[in-house]
């Protein structure tokens, strides 16, 4: 019975492949949303470990904050852009959940974010909301 179920899942995967949202390659059974290679090669900033990072410095003096960070470096045409576009424009909410989990792991591991009260996402402009039809940070 298990072999038949596995065969059915494999056939379904052949007709409707489960692809990596970063590179587009087929995911293995143990992978979800992002393939292992893309996770390994992801351009993490490690800003969560350093109080004086580029993001925090840009906000200094503009508003009161204890820490600020960006999880990934963004480069046009790179895999991070594919992930963000799949989330924002293709309705792939699982990408947001996967990236949120990765962010949560980093924040929990950082002494800068002990006792954190609030994570504030970058708000979506009203024009973009009308164009897109939904706000990806509320998913």
Please give the C-alpha separations between residue 103 and each of 14, 64, 73, 123, 132, in angstroms, as whole numbers.
32, 22, 13, 18, 24
Range name among 31-35, 95-99, 127-131 with the lowest pLDDT average: 127-131
Q: Where would I find the H helices in the chain?
A: 2-15, 36-41, 54-59, 79-88, 93-109, 126-132
Helix (H) or strand (E) holding 104, with range, is helix 93-109
Closest of 88, 98, 89 to residue 122, by C-alpha: 88
Element (H, E) at 57: helix 54-59
Cβ distance 83 to 99 under 8 Å?
Answer: yes
DSSP 47: G
When mean pLDDT is compared across 8-12, 35-39, 109-113, the lowest value belongs to 8-12
Regarding pTM above 0.75, the answer is: yes
pLDDT at 54: 94
| pLDDT tens profile 58-98 | 999 998 888 889 999 999 999 999 999 998 888 888 998 99
Q: What angle do CA 127, 132, 138 make, to 5 degrees?
A: 95
**Token pair listed for 127:** 């024009």
Half-sphere exposure of residue 58: CA atoms within 13 angstroms, side-chain side? 7
| Alpha carbons 67 and 115: distance in angstroms, whole number | 12
CB 97 within 8 A of CB 83: no
Confidence of residue 12 (pLDDT cuts 50, 70, 90): low
């Amino acid at each position: 019975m298990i072999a038949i179920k596995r065969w059915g899942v494999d056939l379904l995967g052949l007709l409707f492949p489960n692809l990596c949202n970063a590179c587009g390659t087929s995911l293995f059974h143990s992978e979800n949303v992002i393939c292992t290679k893309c996770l390994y090669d992801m351009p993490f900033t490690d800003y969560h470990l350093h109080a004086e990072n580029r993001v925090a410095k840009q906000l200094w003096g503009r508003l009161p904050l204890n820490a600020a960070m960006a999880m990934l470096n963004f480069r046009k045409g790179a895999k991070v852009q594919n992930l963000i576009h799949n989330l924002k424009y293709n309705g792939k909410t699982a990408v947001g959940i996967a990236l949120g989990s990765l962010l949560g792991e980093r924040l929990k591991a950082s002494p800068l974010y002990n006792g954190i009260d609030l994570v504030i996402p970058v708000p979506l402009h009203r024009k973009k909301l009308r164009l897109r039809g939904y706000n990806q940070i509320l998913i």
